[in-house]
Amino acid sequence: MLHDFVQVLLEKQLQPTRTDGQQVRWQPPPVTKFKVNFDGVVFKEDKRAGLGIVIRNHQGQVLTSFSENIALLPSIEDVEALAAVRAMSFAAELGVSSTIIEGDSEVVIKALKSEEESLSTYGHLIAAARQFTDGFSSLSFTHTRRLGNILAHNLARHARHVSGYLV
């Protein structure tokens, strides 16, 4: 079921979209790396949130994906930070050691890149994400616009219909 959902989303994602005169679409990683995209969304009326993660190779092939329905956290930044933690944990568990972690939350990506302790409400989640860094031989963080992260975003939205999580 999730596989079919991901296939439909992939077909839509291959169509580039223009924003501010520039094409925005997912960019594949170098041949020797994998890209892990993550996103979080809030379902205010349900007092829930959704996490979406997708791992792809240099050809754009989906290796695996993940949707999780969670209790609502204090802010969208907290939800995005938890999605980053889950993305790093998921990639480390699968042995994807040469990785680019990519999301559309600029503040979370900046916090992950920073060597300083984050004093934000989600600082503990950034610290938790950093605990996984030793499991990677190569790790970098990149920010993209929502349209470059649309598959992870739609997986997070799909989590509304998931009880717990779905891989």
Residue 50 lies in a domain: yes
pLDDT digits (tens, 9 = 90+) for 81-90: 999 999 999 9
Residue 21 lies in a domain: no
Residue 23 lies in a domain: no
Residue 20 lies in a domain: no
Q: Does residue 166 register a pLDDT over 90?
A: no
User: What is the largest distance, in Å, between two alpha-carbon atoms of the chain?
Assistant: 42
Q: Is 123 helix (H, G, I), strand (E, B) or coil?
A: helix
CATH number for 84: 3.30.420.10
pLDDT at 141: 98
The two tokens of residue 64 are 């695996």
Quote the number of domains for the chain: 1
Residue 19 lies in a domain: no
- Other CB atoms within a 10 A radius of the CB of residue 92 amount to 18
pTM exceeds cut of 0.85? yes
In contact, 82 and 40? CB cutoff 8 Å: yes
Residue 25 lies in a domain: no
Residue 77 lies in a domain: yes
Domain of 36 in residue numbering reads as 2-14+30-166
